[in-house]
Every structure is written in structure tokens, then in C-alpha cells.
A and B are shown apart, each in its own frame.
Chain A
Amino acid sequence: DQQVKQNSPSLSVQEGRISILNCDYTNSMFDYFLWYKKYPAEGPTFLISISSIKDKNEDGRFTVFLNKSAKHLSLHIVPSQPGDSAVYFCAAKETSYDKVIFGPGTSLSVIP
């Protein structure tokens, strides 16, 4: 059973607009959430994270929102740029343990 779900395999957005990537999780023990970005033939790179004690974390153009009651988080990219085109993985873990569970990813295409 998939503990971290990303129900949109792909997303296309016009340059300059907002990209919203969604993620749902099932394990209520998860209390730390991460987003990773992956380009072809490279390993995932860390983008932004959020602890369950917060509902929002912002870093430049990237903002992650967490809704604990709905077990849902989202990544907002504003404004989207062509260089943002990549696969985005949502991931979750328990703070007390290093093991990270990844979602299947969403492929984002930002069209110039």
C-alpha cells in the first residue's frame, strides 16, 4: 500500500504562472515532509521541507503547505520558470527515524 501518493503523473504550466503539485499521505506517524526535484540522469535534489508543527514554509519561489487533518500537502512554485521542468517527488518521514518514503513523482513541464 502506497503511503505517499502523488495522483497527478504530469502537469503542464505556462511560464510565469503558478505550478501546484499535490501530495497525500496515509501514515499518521509522518511528521516531516520533503520535496525533491529530479532532472533526467541525475539523482533527486532536496528542494524544501516542512515539519508537522507548521502549516506553511516558504523559500523564494517555492512554498509548501501542509494540511495535517487532510493528510495533504502541496508545493507551489510562483512564478514558474522553464528551468523548473523536472520530476518532483513528495517524501515523508518520522522525525525520530531517518527512513524516507517517496511518492511516485509528478513530471512538471513549464512551457515558455
Chain B
Amino acid sequence: GAGVSQSPRYKVAKRGQDVALRCDPISGHVSLFWYQQALGQGPEFLTYFQNEAQLDKSGLPSDRFFAERPEGSVSTLKIQRTQQEDSAVYLCASSHPPDTQYFGPGTRLTVL
């Protein structure tokens, strides 16, 4: 399994619930990205790590969104007090610069 994996693949949450989405990047990849993809749209940048350092979190839509990559490998995107507008596919990608990004299959989050 050499690709980027994400879990869970599907998540249904009640409004107000906290969720945690996991990303396992390709082994050895330094950079890790999180994107949010709404229906009919392209992936929108959320945040970016180089090893364990979060270099850019300008795309996080609110302070309810938090991402971490404590050991420079696996990353978790946490959304607190989920709202209906958080419903989207959350994509993770990894790369070893200057190579291109490899995407995981995404986690489809539905907030009821």
C-alpha cells in the first residue's frame, strides 16, 4: 500500500459533534496538505505541513478547524462543533518537494 490513505472514508455527524479525520501520507513524504472539496467545486486549500511544522493554515475556515502532525507523518484534521456548512469531502495529499502532490481518496463528511 504505497498510496495516501484516509480514514474514515465516510462520516456522518450530528450538528455540534466533534469529528477527527485521519491521513496517512506516503512514507517519506515531507509535505502534507489538507483540502476541502464542496460539491461541484475544486479542492480548496485548508492547511499545509512540512514535517511536523504547520507552515500555512490560512485556509482553515474558522477556529473550529484544527490540524496537527505531531511526528511529521500521520496527520489529523479535527473539526469541533460541526455545522451543516462543514459537509464536504476532505482530501489529504502528500508530496516530496519538488514532486507533485499525491491525493488520498478523501473523507466524505455529512453533518445533519
A36 to B45 alpha-carbon distance, docked (Å)? 15
If A43-B91, A98-B97, A99-B48 touch, does A105 touch B42 (CB 8 Å cutoff)? yes
The listed residue (B33, B44, B105) touching A98 by CB distance below 8 A is: B33
Contact A43 B100 (CB under 8 A): no
Contact A102 B31 (CB under 8 A): no
Contact-residue size bin, chain B (C-beta under 8 Å from the other chain)? 20 to 34
- Determine the chain B residues whose CB is within 8 A of the CB of A89 once the complex forms: 42-43
Beta-carbon contacts under 8 Å, A43-68 to B: 43-46, 49
Contact A102 B43 (CB under 8 A): yes
- Determine the chain B residues whose CB is within 8 A of the CB of A4 once the complex forms: 42
Is A34 part of the contact surface with B, judged by Cβ < 8 Å?
yes
Contact-residue size bin, chain A (C-beta under 8 Å from the other chain)? 20 to 34
Contact B106 A102 (CB under 8 A): no
Shortest CB-to-CB span from A7 to chain B, Å, is 13
Contact B41 A45 (CB under 8 A): no
The listed residue (A43, A49, A102) touching B42 by CB distance below 8 A is: A102
Contacts A43-B103, A104-B42 known; 20 new A-B pairs at CB < 8 A: A34-B100, A36-B103, A41-B105, A42-B105, A42-B106, A43-B106, A44-B103, A46-B101, A49-B100, A89-B42, A89-B43, A98-B31, A98-B33, A98-B95, A99-B48, A100-B33, A101-B45, A102-B43, A105-B40, A105-B42
- 29 A-B pairs, CB-CB below 8 angstroms? A4-B42, A36-B103, A41-B105, A43-B4, A43-B91, A43-B103, A43-B105, A43-B106, A44-B103, A45-B102, A46-B100, A46-B102, A89-B43, A98-B33, A98-B48, A98-B95, A98-B97, A99-B48, A100-B33, A100-B45, A102-B42, A102-B43, A102-B44, A103-B42, A104-B40, A104-B41, A104-B42, A105-B40, A105-B42
